[in-house]
A and B are shown apart, each in its own frame.
Chain A
């Protein structure tokens, strides 16, 4: 394994000019949930490992049975996947399993100095649990990730840009990573949207290659989400739900346009980066615990 170095500076594939270097590594551990069709736990673990944080992948049934304890961790991750095959609505059945068996532990977890991340199916689970937006810590369902406007699963690279400045977005100018979901069409009633806006909870939006807004246009906005919303935080900012998958494009060679970018950089005499701009996202999270 080549260790990605932080000192490389290349324009493409990197996080951008405001990129921040962190001391690597934290002793805190992440808990990454698995089971019932969640499927991105291994690459999510790899992303955090590269960013400096080790994780335990824990089957939800081992938490329910008390073999593992949520209170031993400070970062809870619901990774991507197809829990329960998206039956009864994506993320809904897994959220029911959490709510029906682990709710007290989750509430206690949220009371401490902790972070929660949900990617794709994880975001759908967070939405059904009400952890985002989580207004007034009431944890009711206030948003929905509906079936995509095109009616089928969409797997393609998208650009997203941060539009609020918070612990998740520091130093990120743009991320370029895949979506792969059938139900990512963000929806909420107008009054909820207004609250999300005024409280700076809309964190990532889909955008065009040149960072202009996607304006709802396919394929830049791949699913029909209102306001091009790709990710939101909870009201207190400690929980983030994100539809695209930064953990699937950790390396420069994972990016859709890398062969073109490589050829360009080579001709400009530039050194090729090892890792992609998406790693900054995981480094930000790990930094919170450093």
Chain B
């Protein structure tokens, strides 16, 4: 078939993007003189051609003539050294191309046919004498080889004919079918099958890991030999998905040692929640815990709120932008897929990455194959990805954090969370309950299915075939999902058009449909009905594809016409792909052939049980031998500049945190704009209540004492909310375990201790876990430039996120000191607890004394502070965190843009007193008038440190220890990420 290819090039008359772009490239050490940017649209049609005049009219639609011009099939004229064109590889989501296509379709009232499309790309003209090395570095910042194609020309090659047109269309292959897989093999071959995947008869290559171990494959073999037939590849791939660590959490589910026969999850997480709920009785705040896509607590008598925090670590290591974007829009779907559909109302992020100023030279393959991305590239990409996801979806992102450590260099951790809001009922129908019924139609709605994310968690080191669609990573399309979300949550839900809904995440429809099939005990799917992005997908690929922006619904037959009419009007694609049954089976057909027929019992519960053994380890780290300096001015400034302490405001301000109109206490606070450890937002505008979010994460404690790491994380997550005035009764927790090498008994022992800590401290506080997620193998195994094997494992990392309901936002307290003359107190005791602290890290030590927690004492303390805040006598409150008291005081002063005069008690070494990370502490400021009442309420737990006054932070012991102008503190606090 002939294709007509046209290229529209758009440039600004004066490009406002250039200054910041050029600065950015220069900041990476690439000596660019000038830069020009051209936006390209490549229009490919076969059924009709566009005339020059028609193309001009199209061009006019794609620009604003006040500032832009276009050329049709003519290279943009310019003088430069290099031209670099960056486009997408075949099959990668191209949102700009799709929008341009829709605009053209709308304008000419036509429909692009299969194989016809519009592709976007960007052309960079680079002036400057840059070396081959710099050119490579520049290309690496502009493009990711996993999703982008790059074409470079020198000026001489460009000047007469411009760039060469390129069409990244997917090459069609013959229609593949399902194949039988022989399991009558010896154990060695079976193990290889589990590890490397099914041998593809067409390509002769293994398809990629099933991640099934030998006992699991034996169970599958025995099941099918009883049935008297061989499994198909669809069945095997499907079982591998359903039984994966990702879906079944086998490590948390397996019995462990002799003392945890029911497994970590049931014993320590679920039982903590059950115990708390029993004890709270009428005051139980939980609605749905652990069973649905998100956890939910009561907001008020009309609404509930949901929360869920996911990780997207492996994809973000490969493609930080795409990985983080799909992470956040993915967890948005856990909200839309809660009950009958909650509205996403808050996004939340957390990034653990290597030091962005380091430039490690490491490779995934031997001989310098597949270099890893630098921490800076990863940070830039994930920051942008979560931003685009939230901003485009109209979901505010008020809360998040970054944590830097070199052990995240091989694999970053990317946390993405979403809070949803939903009425408890709509016309007497409980919206938090759902149940598909036999006979209901299975409907897939949203995006189409491509090869995205198939075996995506693993990385193939083989070079990618340039015409094969990208499978390892995915780029999200937030607008497609926004359309889907709006029609579900704002329209279809309250029209009662469906009985059940769930998200398509890991494992695609193979997991979502099989999961919903539990509600009615069976399903029958016609795979050939599933709409595809392109031809040439095998049935097993369609079944397990993780293409984004899709939900699966159960729709009663009598409602299907109304549902289809509605979604069509919202330009959301939906397709009936089968029917729910009560057959007890999951049956899948493809073009009339049954390609899967498995009992649901076996699919969900057939995996063999495991027993895990742990080995206790206790590491001893050297203690610092330095003595306390007489003055700490320089130390405080250096501490403020530490990456885990300093301002990352550039992230907060590029994330919209005000959309939906509920902003109360934001990510930065006070005149001096300091990032707060917690935020508060109204999610129901006509209510006085608000939703607080905070977190605690102390990865450096895990190697010293994982049990106390859990204590620190839980206490800090809770304390962030207490400081704003959220009552302990209204707080719930989420757990995210990101571990490493979880096949090693020592790592499993650390895991067990952390889980035990979760139980002990959550039950002591009475704060239930409502949702959680684990990711057990965050290890990088690769090579350095000399082919020496290198393994980098993340420190065992427990993130505790908290959500709490503030009863009256008008009484909420911010972190900034407010007025001259106010008293400054620290509430809670300070001990010499600096093991794993930022101060010891600054001294290049780890130490051993991590903070302990006396929950009985601090619980009482938190209740007293809540009373004081409710009486509106607390002018500011800051929960002491990384860097201890000195950093807390500095941040309270910077945010208030006002000084303080502080005297610390003798007893402890001044530097240990000031930088200890003892838990349970707050810095508060109180006006003179409220002093008496405050001291009566909080009692001797509060120690008066000094007053708010002047323009400097002065701290004295016997002598003056530090005396620094607030401006100087502020500069130190804000300088490290200038230019990001």
Contacts and interface: CB of A to CB of B under 8 A. Distances in A.
Contact of B659 (A39, A141, A266): A39
Interface string B474-496: 00001100110010000000000
Nearest to B482: A37
Which of under 10, 10 to 19, 20 to 34, or 35 or more describes the interface residues of B?
Answer: 35 or more
Closest 8 A/B residue pairs (Cβ): A39-B394, A151-B20, A43-B661, A87-B99, A259-B814, A178-B658, A1-B686, A180-B656
B17 A147 contact: yes
Contact of B64 (A42, A89, A247, A248): A89
A283 B699 CA distance: 52
Nearest to B66: A144
Interface in B56-109: 61-68, 95-96, 98-100, 102-103, 106-107
B65 to A, nearest CB: 6
B320 interface: no
B576 interface: no
B665 interface: yes
Given A82-B394, A144-B66, A42 B61 contact: no
A147 B654 contact: no
25 contacts: A35-B483, A37-B478, A39-B482, A42-B660, A59-B569, A85-B96, A85-B388, A87-B100, A89-B68, A96-B61, A149-B20, A151-B21, A155-B654, A178-B663, A182-B391, A185-B16, A188-B66, A189-B66, A249-B663, A253-B809, A253-B812, A254-B664, A259-B876, A267-B929, A272-B810
Nearest to B814: A259
Interface string A82-93: 101111110011
Nearest to B478: A85
Interface string A135-153: 0000001111011111111
B818 interface: yes
Contacts, number: 195
Given A144-B67, A152-B654, A40 B96 contact: no
Interface in A248-272: 248-250, 252-254, 256-257, 259-260, 262-264, 266-267, 272
B100 A88 contact: yes
Interface of A: 1-2, 34-37, 39-40, 42-43, 46-47, 59, 61-62, 65, 80-82, 84-89, 92-93, 96-97, 100-101, 127-128, 141-144, 146-156, 178, 180, 182, 185, 187-189, 224, 245, 247-250, 252-254, 256-257, 259-260, 262-264, 266-267, 272
Interface of B: 12, 16-17, 19-21, 24, 61-68, 95-96, 98-100, 102-103, 106-107, 387-388, 391-394, 478-479, 482-483, 486, 569-571, 650, 652-666, 669-671, 685-686, 688, 809-810, 812-814, 816, 818-819, 872, 875-876, 927, 929
A211 to B, nearest CB: 17
Given A256-B666, A260-B671, A87 B96 contact: yes
Contact of A141 (B64, B662, B669, B813): B64
B479 A155 contact: no
B570 A61 contact: yes
A153 B658 contact: no
Nearest to B109: A100
A254 B661 contact: yes
A254 B663 contact: yes
Given A39-B394, A84-B99, A88-B100, A253 B482 contact: no
A100 B61 CA distance: 10
Contact of B106 (A80, A100, A182, A266): A100
B816 A260 contact: yes
Contacts of A40: 394, 659-661
Nearest to B896: A260
A81 B394 contact: yes
A187 B14 CA distance: 11
B659 A62 contact: no
Given A36-B571, A253-B812, 6 more contacts: A84-B479, A86-B392, A141-B65, A144-B66, A250-B661, A267-B929
Contacts of B478: 37, 82, 85
